[in-house]
Structure 1
């Protein structure tokens, strides 16, 4: 076996089209090195090798583009995941520190005499501050607003706003956008 091609045995993790093309290229090159190859056959093998190498180059370029696209999607999803985890941590912290403030109203008016000498039970009311009210949630993930979001064009949509990552888009679509077939029918 030619030492130049021993690396082909280590390419099992590459797409099968690339491996098949490399094996074909190796076979053609080995046929060209045979001593009894006619000049016409050698030219045919050389042309076939050239077309095979061009095909391999296109396949490799497509694979590189696909990997870059996949990488950018993974980076974007990682950012969405970090923001989502941060929002969940904030919610947990708010829930841990959440304490209802109690207001007690006592009626100690001594001029009114009741039939009993026992004071009435105090009235207790829960008072919530504005900062303790939960943030409004959106989207299928039922999470708070963060990052890029898109609105459903159905005015009666129950969720209305959606995170780009949750609906699988990276930029605003052209024209109207609906979150589901139901919303499209309603609109």
Structure 2
């Protein structure tokens, strides 16, 4: 195991008014910050107004937004994407972030924490897996999913019954650390794509 903490970016992907995402993102971020093997950066897409259409010549305002978020993604060794499910898929804000970046995802692990109604956001996760595979990222198997999430957290943002979700989060974080260290060492030895 590396003595240097792995740089983990936790991406809160929902930008809608009244969103529940910050509750879930804060929960997984607090668990990740308890670990000595992780250094956590919280990336809230509500703070980054990326357009949904791609352009080869981004305007100054787009370039400014990219300058705020792109280096943070590039510096990360691993990612957790916190995603709701909108119409059986993931938010447009997340697709925009993904599409504006390419090399930042390559040869890095990505884990998912999803939330929603009956499906707990799992359909959005299953759609994200092939998207990230196309970008040469490695998605880890285990997911933390909150079904009917609004009923599971109290008004302070704490889980009412945290045992199962905390155990699932430990598995997810352990997998991210393993893959993050393995892929980081591999990239240092041989740059990806060479």
Which interval holds the TM-score relative to the shorter structure? under 0.3
Structure with the higher fraction of residues in helix conformation = 1
Q: TM-score, normalised by structure 1?
A: 0.27
Q: TM-score, normalised by structure 2?
A: 0.26
Mark the structure with the bigger radius of gyration. 1
